[in-house]
Structure 1
Amino acid sequence: MILAAGRGERMRPLTDQTPKPLLTVHDKPLMQWHMEAMAKAGFHDQLINTAWLGEQIESRYGLNPNLPEVGHIRLRYSHEGQAFGYALETAGGIVRALPSLAAIFWVVAGDIYAPEFNFSMDQWQAFERSPNLAHLWLVPNPPHNPGGDFGLSEDGQALNLPKPNQLFTFSTFALYKKEFFDPLWTGMPQGNPQGKAAPLAPLLRAAMDRGQVGASLYSGPWTDVGTPERLRELNSKP
């Protein structure tokens, strides 16, 4: 699942006419870097949630786009804007899409640039065998998030620690099992028919406290393309 529903307020005025995941880095839409990387790793069935200017995303890619180097992939959409008139935030959007997702699935934000991230089938299989319900990839803290988000134990578990412990930033790259989004934890039935908008971080912190979230440290290039300045900087590099 590629998260593509946000308004991108900090990216204005660029996002006044274009959804942020369609903004380009090196002549390729941000979200397409993920789409191609997933397909290269063997994950050809993908889902995109939309809200702000979401019709542009489906118009661009349709249901069976032919992408460079990877060929055709199969897309589904969860059009939160069409259904409710607003974006459902990360947890609300995932629960809305849950009926169309596999028992284990990747999630990444469509406005992240990490061209070397590997959606590894080996990692997927290791996660399938583990008792964890989620596995996150953490990155060294960027200047805009110096305090970080979550801790990381020596045995590879994500930790809900208060600042100023050694914390890392959540990259948005993650694997989840459907059980993570059980109504017992989310308060939302599968499919989120009421259109509840809900953030993901409280669910992650609660699951970390239950010992159900693994984590890995990713040290490759990674940028949260949240401002026009960051976008210009990326495009100025070779």
Structure 2
Amino acid sequence: MRHALILAAGLGERMRPLTTHTPKPLLEVNGKPLIVHHIEKLAAADIRYIVINTSHLAEQFPEALGDGSRWGVRLRYSYEGPTPLETGGGMLAALPLLGPDPFVVVSADIWSDIDYAALPREPEGLAHLVMVANPGFHPLGDFALADGKLYDADAPAAAERLTFGNVGVYRRDIVAHEAPGRFKLLPMYRQAIADGQLTGERYDGFWRNVGTPAQLDELRAELSRRA
């Protein structure tokens, strides 16, 4: 597991007006862009090849981040055009840059203390997702977790409904057979669950979604208190 994909192609509509002139992943927290937090943590986990998918204000990413050499990694950019391809289409478009082995995927608009080195190098099935306790803005969660497996509608009674933390390890096959274009990963997750091919783990450490100006302000205040 030497490759990673950082999802950074969103339009950042809920973060406006801050994203009118700056992509959301390049908004600063603790004096550095959000996305740099992930690059540093991936580098610390000895993941040296990182692909960043881009769309909105895409030219700003190489201008701000360069080739990754300052962090000891190699950065490549997967430009999706002016309209983002969503999570599934973006992953499919980035596959030529990601190599043949399983890879880490993380959304740029979260902040967490997740140790990427502790993730499985290879998922048992098509993907392994990091799940977190349901935040207030998403009380019903996404999937249920029991004994390391993820379930949807037909979960065991002992399963716990949790929210996908936007971090996972994937095999190429989860999207490799799809037609190019704009599509979400959710149908792939549900099919993998039906086939018993989606595993997961619960993460109880520090994790925050950064989707709105209010959430960004809350994160900055919380990190200041922690410091």
TM-score normalised according to structure 1 size: 0.86
Gaps of 5+ in 1: none
AA of the residue aligned to 1:198: F
Cα distance between partner residues in 1 of 2:64 and 2:105:
21
What residue number does 1:180 align with?
174
1:28 aligns with 2:32: yes
Alignment of 1:38-77 (within 5 A): 38-67=42-71, 72-77=72-77
Alignment of 1:1-238 (within 5 A): 1-67=5-71, 72-81=72-81, 85-102=82-99, 103-114=101-112, 116-120=113-117, 123-125=119-121, 127=122, 130=124, 132-153=125-146, 155-161=147-153, 166-183=160-177, 186=178, 188=179, 192=180, 196-237=181-222, 238=224
Cα distance between partner residues in 2 of 1:32 and 1:159:
33
Cα distance between partner residues in 2 of 1:42 and 1:88:
28
The residue matched to 2:128 in structure 1 has which SS? Answer: strand
TM-score normalised according to structure 2 size: 0.90
Q: Percent identity?
A: 41
The residue matched to 2:183 in structure 1 has which SS? Answer: coil
The residue matched to 2:161 in structure 1 has which SS? Answer: coil
Cα deviation, residue 210, structure 1? 0.5
Gaps of 5+ in 2: none
Alignment coverage as a number of residue pairs: 215
Cα distance between partner residues in 2 of 1:118 and 1:13:
32
Cα deviation, residue 180, structure 1? 1.6
Cα distance between partner residues in 2 of 1:16 and 1:158:
37
AA of the residue aligned to 1:227: T
Cα distance between partner residues in 2 of 1:113 and 1:215:
19
Cα deviation, residue 179, structure 1? 1.6
Greater helix content:
1
AA of the residue aligned to 2:88: A
The residue matched to 1:124 in structure 2 has which SS? Answer: coil
Cα deviation, residue 166, structure 1? 4.0
